[in-house]
Amino acid sequence: MISFDLSDEQRLLEQSVREWAAREVAPTIHDLDREHRFDKNVFPQMAALGLLGISVPQEYGGAGMDYISLGIASEELEYVDTSLRVILSVHAGLNCLSLLTWGSEDQKQRYLVPQAQGKKIATYGLTEPGAGSDVRGIQTVAVKKGDRYVLTGEKMWISLADVADNFLVFAWTDLEKKKQRDTAGISAFIVERTFKGFTSATLKEKWGILAGNTGSFKMDEVEVPEDNLVGKPGEGFKIAMFALDQGRYTVAAGATGLIRACRDASVKYAKERKTFGVEIAQHQLVKEMIAQMESDYQSARLLWLRAGWLKNNGRRNTRETGLAKWFATVASERAASDAVQIHGANGYSDEYPVGRFYRNCKGAVIYEGTREIHKLMQADYVLGYRVDRPTRCELPPYRS
């Protein structure tokens, strides 16, 4: 049965996240963005709202909400600023849901529980200076020595790199397979910031999501206990891709929130600003841009809701999640560009939020699968070159 109504619990979440973000974040976000300042105080506040473990079952310290709730929170957070949604994407999506699905019971107790409670912050380290879309190009290696793995390598463009406590890291454990670029040689590890040989830095040159933290980290012969290997040796690539199904979902819902923010700011401005004796909202070409935002918003929302429904039912959703992410991010770029256009020269200044929306939207067209990679994937599904089969680990269905 399909329902387009949110449950009472989902509506309450939507309302509480919306009110919190409007009250606590919106008043300061302009200054944080301008000063390139990440505000760590959001972590305890997000934890108090249950957001940091939103779709993690209560038995593992989470709020035990369904996956549609994760989408709702993503949409509401990005309505105010992309940097907030990014926290949810990497911590609650890419990291926590991967540990929930692929982690051992011991790993869940040691890492997932404190992360879901918001006592520890976590992120995801796949990208390197020389490898983004082409995951096979990563150079980080993990060499087994007794009961430990020794990790050496550098990760780049990592959200929360300079503030997170725990990192889900991908490295080659089979050097023969590395030479052959066979992804069955990649494994996944939990690395703690406190491990000897781990250093991180904030990327200073970024021009979007300026109220967020993005950076790099280096591992110089970091010794990681073998108990921190997630899944089996060689399952890292599958885990990395599984994680992206969760991260992309939050990006899709987040970008949907950004389209709505562009629409709302445009409607407000178009009714205030007058040219040729009438509000600019009266001009058909302005209406056209607003109509496109509305169409994009409604379409993007339906796409992420469908992906969330599949997740709730424990069904494979790589194709649907990818489509939702691709559509919403490209549409958010269109919406942000038109929002600036509607604001005229004022849109080109820092005084109005649409300039920030315009800078922030671009990142999501690049991370978690670029626009081009998603196009290729969707074409391959339609052409029958790519078929998703159930894997050993699907996201656990939601139990209400």
Ligand X SMILES: Cc1cc2nc3c(=O)[nH]c(=O)nc-3n(C[C@H](O)[C@H](O)[C@H](O)COP(=O)(O)OP(=O)(O)OC[C@H]3O[C@@H](n4cnc5c(N)ncnc54)[C@H](O)[C@@H]3O)c2cc1C
Q: Please identify, among the stretches 157-165, 190-198, 258-266, 327-335, the one whose residues bind ligand X according to the rule CB under 6 A.
A: 157-165
Is residue 133 involved in binding ligand X (CB under 6 A)? yes
Alpha helices per DSSP H over the chain: 8-20, 26-34, 42-48, 67-80, 82-87, 97-102, 105-107, 113-116, 175-180, 236-272, 284-312, 318-342, 344-347, 354-366, 371-383
Q: Please identify, among the stretches 63-71, 108-116, 126-134, 181-189, the one whose residues bind ligand X according to the rule CB under 6 A.
A: 126-134
Is residue 124 involved in binding ligand X (CB under 6 A)? yes
Is residue 358 involved in binding ligand X (CB under 6 A)? no
Is residue 246 involved in binding ligand X (CB under 6 A)? no
Burial 63-94 (b: 16+ CB within 10 A, else e): bbbbbbbbbbbbbbbbbbbbbbbbbbbbbbbb
Which of residues 161 and 293 has its CB atom nearest to ligand X in the complex?
161
Q: Are 154 and 216 in contact (CB under 8 A)?
A: yes
Q: Is residue 368 annotated as a catalytic residue, yes or no?
A: yes
Say which DSSP state 127 is in.
-
Distance of CA 177 to the CA centre of its chain: 30
Least gap, CB of 394 to ligand X (angstroms): 22
Is residue 189 involved in binding ligand X (CB under 6 A)? no
Among 93, 185, 236, 363, the residue binding ligand X under the rule CB under 6 A is: 363
Residues 213 and 375: their CA atoms lie apart, in Å, by 28
Which of residues 162 and 294 has its CB atom nearest to ligand X in the complex?
162
Neighbours of 282 (CB within 10 A): 14
Cα Rg, the chain, nearest whole Å: 21
How many residues bind ligand X, per CB under 6 A? Answer: 22
Which of residues 154 and 264 has its CB atom nearest to ligand X in the complex?
154
Alpha helices per DSSP H over 58-207: 67-80, 82-87, 97-102, 105-107, 113-116, 175-180
Among 114, 370, 381, 394, the residue binding ligand X under the rule CB under 6 A is: 370
Among 47, 65, 90, 395, the residue binding ligand X under the rule CB under 6 A is: 90
Catalytic residue from among 76, 192, 333, 368? 368
**Site map for ligand X, 199-218, x if CB under 6 A?**
----------x----x----
Q: Which residues contact 216 (CB under 8 A, 6 or more apart)?
A: 129, 154, 155, 156, 157, 158, 161, 200, 201, 203
Shortest-Cβ-distance residue relative to ligand X: 132
Is residue 242 involved in binding ligand X (CB under 6 A)? no
Q: Please identify, among the stretches 96-104, 109-117, 123-131, 227-235, the one whose residues bind ligand X according to the rule CB under 6 A.
A: 123-131
Residues contributing to the site for ligand X (CB under 6 A): 90, 123-127, 132-134, 157-159, 209, 214, 363, 366-368, 370, 372-373, 376
Catalytically active residues, by annotation: 368
